[in-house]
Structure 1
Amino acid sequence: MNKQHLKDQLSTLALSMFRKDFFGIYHGSLSAKTETSRFLINTKEAVFDAIDNDALIELYFKKDYRWNQASIDASIHQSIYSQISEAKFICFTMPQFTTAYSLEHNIITPKDYFGHREIGFIEIFDPKQFEDWYERAQSEIAYYFQSKKTNIMVIRGYGVYTYSRDMHEMAKQLAILEKSCRLLMLEKGTSSVFDD
């Protein structure tokens, strides 16, 4: 595997998703599995419109000093990689329309063609209280993926976790979901709060 090529791919995807407002300045995470027990992930200081070699770090599943530099989401990514063999890429984003839609709904049922065809419907996971979410997230997210037999998880008021074997398919699925949620909000007349 050419790790530099993989880093370049992650950088390109991060920039594209940053421009679509899926990532904040220091908010979100993106990773790629490199070996059986290793993965690349953004550092906690990464700015997603400028991901370079210094903004990515390779971690072993077994925690060592490098984990101190990694994204706060690294433990969640490690849990998914270790439990779901088809996970090659993982992404945590906070797309504004999907996250906003999750605040008032329990299910996302796209009414547009691409959303209906590619996504179907998605249950919205309620993390209950946020105070201990990061302690629970590592086990609850991987468990959700396995028990629901899905590769996308919308978490109320928090964002979206997704994994895939293909980076471009993962990005496409996120983009379709976000567009579907935007259309659902436009239909309800609630999108004016998001207009610039």
Structure 2
Amino acid sequence: MTEETHLRDQICTLAKSMFDRGLTGGSTGNISARTRDGGLLMSPTGTSFGRLDPARLSRFGADGRQIEGDRPSKEMPLHTAFYDTRSQTGAVVHLHSCHSVALSTLPDVDEENFLPPITPYSIMQLGRVKLLPIFRPGDPAMGEAVRGLAGKRTAVMLANHGPVVAGEDVEAACYAIEELEATARLALLTRGLGPRMLTEVQVRDVVTTFDVEWDQ
């Protein structure tokens, strides 16, 4: 098995796992990953995470031109914005996960730090998550909004739409976006109950210990 064949299979396996657990439904969500030659693999437009075909993933060369596969997701500008502004990005995942979308609609959410500090794990895997405004699906302005962050965030939340997370590889990106959704679910479950959050000192300890990008 070649390295690219393994990557294609890994993308489809992880996507199906998220679909099977209800993290994104229908033909929603998109996923991409860098190839060894500097190119890109991406889920095609209108496809379900539950039925991605490794052989039909959109394949781009290092020059950005499509060389094989089906037509890519219309959210490609959103993905390329992360690749272009964060050199360490090896994969990007976007879901329409219910709890994070629900949390994004609430009026008192912190736009600069979307997730409350309920556990250390969202901090470790995501840093600060930026809440972006509502955009029309497929609007190139989403990519421009990410570019405007100048590579300072690994994750954003598109209001009333869904999270987008960049990682060093496809496995890391998927694990991080799952942590984002789990934390959003915890935030909703505990809302109005006066939950005990991590203190500023505890957050700073996590940030320092795990070298988290935080003060940007």
TM-score calculated relative to the size of structure 1: 0.81
Equivalence for 1:39? 40
For each residue in 1:24-82, what CA deviation from the matched residue of structure 2 results, as whole angstroms up to 9, or x when unmatched?
A: 22111101111454200011132211212344120234345869711111232233223
For each residue in 1:86-131, what CA deviation from the matched residue of structure 2 results, as whole angstroms up to 9, or x when unmatched?
A: 111111112110111011123321323534554565342224xx34
Aligned residue type for 2:10: Q
Equivalence for 2:103? 101
Among 85, 109, 130, the alignment partner of 1:83 is 85
Go from structure 1 to structure 2 and tell me whether the alpha carbon gap of 1:68 and 1:139 turns closer, same or farther (over 3 Å shift). Answer: farther
Equivalence for 2:3? 2
Equivalence for 1:178? 181
Question: Structure 2 matches for 1:10-159, cutoff 5 A?
Answer: 10-35=11-36, 37-60=38-61, 61-63=63-65, 69-104=71-106, 105-106=109-110, 107-115=114-122, 118-119=125-126, 121-127=128-134, 130-131=135-136, 134-144=139-149, 146=151, 149-159=152-162
Q: How many Å separate the matches in 2 of 1:91 and 1:155? A: 13
Q: How many Å separate the matches in 1 of 2:47 and 2:102? A: 25
Q: Which has the higher helix share?
A: 1
Go from structure 1 to structure 2 and tell me whether the alpha carbon gap of 1:2 and 1:47 turns closer, same or farther (over 3 Å shift). Answer: same
Unaligned runs of 5+ in 2: 194-216
Q: Provide the secondary structure at the position in 2 that maps to 1:82.
A: helix
Aligned residue type for 1:5: H
Aligned residue type for 1:140: A
Aligned residue type for 1:78: T
Aligned residue type for 1:151: T
Query: Which deviates more, 137-146 or 27-36?
Result: 137-146
CA contact (8 A) 1:109 1:120 kept: no
Aligned residue type for 2:142: A
Aligned residue type for 1:112: T
Go from structure 1 to structure 2 and tell me whether the alpha carbon gap of 1:156 and 1:145 turns closer, same or farther (over 3 Å shift). Answer: farther
TM-score calculated relative to the size of structure 2: 0.74
Total equivalences in the alignment:
186
Q: Provide the secondary structure at the position in 2 that maps to 1:24.
A: coil
Go from structure 1 to structure 2 and tell me whether the alpha carbon gap of 1:122 and 1:132 turns closer, same or farther (over 3 Å shift). Answer: closer
State the Cα RMSD in Å.
2.7
Query: Which deviates more, 4-13 or 137-146?
Result: 137-146
Q: How many Å separate the matches in 2 of 1:68 and 1:48? A: 15
Aligned residue type for 2:15: A
Q: Which has the higher strand share?
A: 1
Go from structure 1 to structure 2 and tell me whether the alpha carbon gap of 1:7 and 1:95 turns closer, same or farther (over 3 Å shift). Answer: same
CA contact (8 A) 1:145 1:151 kept: no
